[in-house]
Amino acid sequence: MSTLSRDEVARVAALARIDLTPAELDRLAGELDVIVESVARVSEVATPDVPATSHPLPLSNVFRADEPVAPLDREEVLAQAPAAQDGKFLVPQILGEE
């Protein structure tokens, strides 16, 4: 049983300023109906005794420990750059500003 009519799809398309052909309206009405039915099936399974989850598998923090280390030597890093000036990377000007 279809829950979305062709007219409802046309109305939503008009609200979204999307121009659809009659063939597209028919096709999308069917596709959206499948989506609505799938959501309804999930809603049937999601009873109050089933806890809500954001991910099907438990996640854990995979980041390394944040431990302070000595910084890189500025002169050594700038020596590897294509161009440097006044202790900074020198890059081509792209916006025409000074």
Instruction: Give the pLDDT of residue 98.
Output: 64
Task: Fold for 6-45, please state it.
Answer: Histone, subunit A (1.10.20)
Tens digit of pLDDT at every position of the chain (98 positions):
457 889 999 999 999 999 999 999 999 999 999 999 998 888 887 778 877 777 888 878 778 888 999 999 999 999 999 999 999 999 988 887 66
Q: Where are the domains of the chain?
A: 6-45
Q: Report the sign of the C-alpha dihedral through residues 47, 58, 39, 10, in that order.
A: positive
Asked whether 33 and 41 are in contact (CB, 8 A), the reply is no
Instruction: Give the pLDDT of residue 2.
Output: 57
Contacts by 77-86 with C-beta closer than 8 Å and gap 24+? none
